[in-house]
A = this chain, B = another copy of it.
Amino acid sequence: MPARRALLHRVPMRHPGDTSAIEALFEAGAIHPRQVVAVLGKTEGNGCVNDFTRAYAVQALSLMLGRHLGEAPESVAARVALVMSGGTEGGLSPHFLVFGIGEGAAPQPAGALAIGTAFTPDFAPEEIGRLPQMQATAAAVRAAMAAAGIAEADAVHYVQVKCPLLTSERIAAARARGRSVATEDTYHSMGLSRGASALGVALALGEVAAVPEAAIGADWSLFSGRASTSAGVELLRNEVIVLGTSPAWAGDLTIAHAVMRDAIDLPAVQAALRAAGLPGDGGQLDAAARERLVAVLAKAEPASTGLIRGQRHIMWDDSDINATRHARALVGGVIASAVGRTDLFVSGGAEHQGPDGGGPVAVIARRGDGGAARP
Which residues on A are within 8 Å of B, measured CB to CB?
12, 14-17, 44-46, 48-53, 55-56, 59-60, 63, 73, 88-95, 263-264, 266-267, 269-270, 280-284, 308-309, 311-315, 317-322, 325-327, 329-334, 336-338, 340-343
Q: A44-B318, A266-B338, A282-B282 are in contact. List 17 more A-B contacts (CB 8 A).
A: A15-B55, A17-B59, A46-B320, A49-B317, A49-B318, A51-B319, A89-B321, A93-B308, A264-B333, A266-B283, A266-B340, A283-B338, A320-B320, A321-B325, A334-B336, A334-B337, A337-B338
Asked if A314 and B264 make an inter-chain contact with CB atoms under 8 angstroms apart, the answer reads no
**Chain B residues in 8 Å Cβ range of A338:** 266, 283, 337
Contacts A/B (CB < 8 Å), 23 sampled: A17-B55, A17-B56, A49-B317, A52-B52, A55-B56, A59-B60, A91-B330, A92-B313, A93-B312, A95-B311, A263-B333, A264-B284, A264-B333, A264-B340, A264-B342, A267-B283, A311-B343, A320-B322, A321-B325, A326-B329, A329-B330, A329-B333, A334-B334
**Chain B residues in 8 Å Cβ range of A282:** 281-282
Which residue of B is nearest A334, CB measured? B337
CA gap between A327 and B309 in the complex, in Å: 22
Which residue of B is nearest A336, CB measured? B264
**Chain B residues in 8 Å Cβ range of A52:** 15-17, 44-45, 52-53, 56
CA gap between A249 and B334 in the complex, in Å: 36
CA gap between A44 and B319 in the complex, in Å: 12
**Given A263-B91, A331-B333, A342:B56 Cβ within 8 A:** no
